[in-house]
Amino acid sequence: MTLSYVWPLDRLNKPQGLTSSKGITNRVYKLNIKKMRVIYLPALQRRVTIGQYCKAVKLAKANPDRKFKYTLETWWPGTGKDIVKQFVKGIHDRINQKN
């Protein structure tokens, strides 16, 4: 799992038309972009936001014996207890990373 930033391009505002002297419309795109912190889950090949990640871990903590479709590090089913263990392992990995 890696922590990174992404630029959400789905927040692109609609163009505002500006008319030049020749009557040709020039379109100006305003970018309304904010950096979002995400965590990459390599087993699932997905990026999830920190909020989604925390919500999933809280659900796993509340239900340690429940079977989930996949865990944080694997694509096969696992229990909430497995997810919490992987979460703690990921925290230790991020703390010990040298940047």
pTM (2 d.p.): 0.62
| Rg value, the chain, Cα | 21
Can you state the angle between helices 50-62 and 80-96, rounded to 10 degrees? 140
Phi, psi of 29 (to 5 degrees): -95, 125
Instruction: Please check the confidence at residue 62 and state whether its pLDDT lies above 60.
Output: yes
Residue range 54-77: mean pLDDT, rounded: 93
The pLDDT tens digits for 81-90 are 999 999 999 8
The pLDDT tens digits for 7-36 are 444 444 444 454 445 555 555 555 666 778
> From its phi and psi, is residue 45 left (phi > 0), alpha (psi between -120 and 50) or beta?
left
Residue range 53-77: mean pLDDT, rounded: 92
Range list of H helices, the chain: 50-62, 80-96
Phi, psi of 38 (to 5 degrees): -135, 160
